[in-house]
């Protein structure tokens, strides 16, 4: 019997203009970014973009798939085109819950 690969994750935390829900400009950029990521991940076999969440001064983007490195590279291609604030970072989780993680400043 074949054991399925652990599901890797990439969580991207984009710093917003304030400590709550960001500025109106932040939210407009994030709406565009979310649509761009949805389209980009439809055409890439690396995994899925599972949406975003805004609050506490950050927008969190969720990505899941079999390889965190490939997920991060695919996500970063789209994220680089949008303005984000200093203090933004990503967490790569190399497996299921409790697996090793790596924090990357972006």
Enumerate domains of the chain plus CATH numbers. 8-105 (3.30.70)
pTM to 2 decimals?
0.89
pLDDT of residue 84: 75
Other beta carbons within 10 angstroms of residue 13's beta carbon come to 19
Please give the C-alpha separations between residue 88 and each of 55, 67, 70, 99, in angstroms, as whole numbers.
14, 22, 19, 22
Collect all residues with Cβ–Cβ distance below 8 Å to 84 and sequence separation of at least 6: 14, 15, 106
For every one of its 106 residues, what pLDDT tens digit does the chain have, with 9 covering 90 and above?
A: 333 456 999 999 999 999 999 999 999 999 999 999 999 898 778 999 999 999 999 999 999 999 999 999 999 988 988 787 789 999 999 988 889 999 999 8
Sheet holding 85-93, edge to edge: 48-55, 58-65, 8-15, 85-93, 101-105
pLDDT of residue 6: 61
pLDDT of residue 72: 95
């Amino acid at each position: 019997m074949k054991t399925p690969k652990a599901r890797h994750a990439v969580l991207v935390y984009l710093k917003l203009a304030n400590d709550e829900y960001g500025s109106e400009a932040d939210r407009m950029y994030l709406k565009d970014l979310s649509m761009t990521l949805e389209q980009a991940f439809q055409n890439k076999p690396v995994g899925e973009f599972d949406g975003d969440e805004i609050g506490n001064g950050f927008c969190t983007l969720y990505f899941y798939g079999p390889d965190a490195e490939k997920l991060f590279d695919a996500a970063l291609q789209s994220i680089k085109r949008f303005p984000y604030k200093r203090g933004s970072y990503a967490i790569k989780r190399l497996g299921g819950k409790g697996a090793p993680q790596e924090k990357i400043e972006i």
